[in-house]
A = this chain, B = another copy of it.
Amino acid sequence: MSKVKVGVVGYGVIGQRLADGVVRQGDMELVGIADVAPTLALRALAEKGMPYKLYCANPDNIPQMEAAGIPVTGTADDLLDQVDIVLDATSAGVGRKNKEIYQKRGLKAVFQGGEKNDVADVFFHGYANYEKGLGKDYLKLTSCNTTGLIRAVDCLDRLVGIERVVVTIVRRSADPGDTHRGVVDLALVEPVPNHQAKDLMLIMPHIEATGLLVHVPTTHGHIISILATPKKSISKEEVLAAFNAHPRIRVVRITDGFNSNTALFRYARDLGNPRGDMYEIAVFEETITFSGNNIFFTISVPQEAVVTPETMDAIRASLMMQATREEAVAMTNKYLGLK
């Protein structure tokens, strides 16, 4: 069976990981990536020997790229000519402009969380609403912390039914190496509800959600406390079993040393994972408790790689590679080595 042909436009923190993810999918082919300038990400790609092809999104910059020792295979148009679907991982706002190009070509595309919702036909999460994405031309993924949050809430929702959630998100304010954003010695509070709660309600409209967003001086993941009101009573063992059974959730113990976002990052590095990435969110076992009937627990979301699995799911939905959520996520998980 021939493989689905995928292109990645934008090779930043997210685009790099989506490209890697596509390469790992046995039923997909990464035709190549496109970017505009000789970034460090492209220099690293060149130093690795170009495991995949680069197309230059701004032909004027081809000489500059080649001067930097980065081989260029063609232009972005050349890439788009060859693919069935584009993963657009450009900076927020650029995807909207790119969409016009994709539309003229009748080309399907998957956008990331930074774009406005109306860029897409459907706001998508592989586990929570896979079927809504089936056959759609333009899908938009949830943002990194919403993706992780929904994974956990969807897991409980399918187990017991969730009516309401209240979240407090302790957000990393920059990615490692960022110099254009970040806070120093400050916990920045945004008005309630945060966009993650609103986004959760768009994906899971039967749940009432609200929450606080706090930006802090860290770079290695978001910490989210979640209070979820179930439709019926449930035991801690059942909650734990459900999390343990989820291929994209890793249950960890604080007493074992998994005491922070950064301990998880360090562990992923020590595992030998490429870029030190982890696809799974972590649930800290010792944080699972109850307040009245409500389930209270805390997760860590590795912001750099967490959206990769659900983006692979989005390709499957848009191209109708699998008809059901169960089949689709199982395929993605298998290829990414999740459980």
Chain A positions within 8 Å of B, measured between CB atoms, are: 16, 38-41, 43-45, 47-48, 68, 163-166, 168, 170, 172-174, 176-179, 182-193, 208, 210, 212, 214, 216-221, 223, 225, 227, 229, 254-263, 265-267, 269-272, 274-276, 284, 286-292, 294, 296, 298, 300
Since A40-B258, A44-B267, A177-B260 are in contact, a sample of 13 more A-B pairs with Cβ atoms closer than 8 Å, ordered by chain A residue number, is A163-B292, A166-B227, A168-B170, A174-B183, A182-B184, A182-B217, A185-B218, A187-B218, A188-B259, A212-B298, A217-B217, A272-B275, A276-B276
Given contacts A182-B183, A272-B48, contact A170 B298 (CB under 8 A): no
Given contacts A177-B265, A189-B260, contact A296 B218 (CB under 8 A): no
24 A-B pairs whose Cβ atoms sit less than 8 Å apart in the complex: A41-B270, A44-B267, A47-B271, A166-B291, A174-B183, A174-B185, A176-B262, A177-B262, A177-B263, A178-B186, A179-B188, A184-B218, A185-B185, A185-B217, A186-B263, A187-B260, A189-B298, A191-B287, A212-B296, A216-B217, A217-B217, A227-B227, A269-B275, A275-B276
- Chain B residues with CB under 8 A of A193: 289
Q: Is the CB of A186 within 8 A of B218?
A: yes
- Chain B residues with CB under 8 A of A168: 168, 170, 212, 225
Copies of the protein in its oligomer: 4
User: Nearest 10 A-B pairs (CB), nearest first?
Assistant: A44-B270, A191-B286, A185-B185, A177-B266, A168-B168, A182-B184, A186-B262, A40-B257, A269-B275, A168-B225
Complex formed: what's the CA distance from A190 to B184 in Å?
19
A-side interface mostly: mixed
Among residues of B, the one whose C-beta sits closest to the C-beta of A304 is B269
Among residues of B, the one whose C-beta sits closest to the C-beta of A271 is B44
Q: How far is the CB of A67 from chain B (nearest CB, A)?
A: 11
